[in-house]
Amino acid sequence: RFILQTLRLAKIIAIKLELNIFLLG
């Protein structure tokens, strides 16, 4: 259950990073 929360957080962070790179690019 903790793992699911961590994976969800990781997904959100990854999406934010991709959006930042996309916007900066």
Q: Where do the structural domains in the chain lie, given as residue ranges?
A: 1-25
Determine the pLDDT at residue 15.
98
Determine the pLDDT at residue 25.
84
pLDDT in tens, 1-18: 789 999 999 999 999 999
Higher pLDDT, 21 or 2: 21
Determine the pLDDT at residue 5.
96
Buried b (16+ CB within 10 A) or exposed e, 1-25: eeeeeeeeeeeeeeeeeeeeeeeee
> What CA–CA distance (Å, rounded) separates 21 from 7?
21
pTM of the model as a whole: 0.63
Determine the pLDDT at residue 2.
87
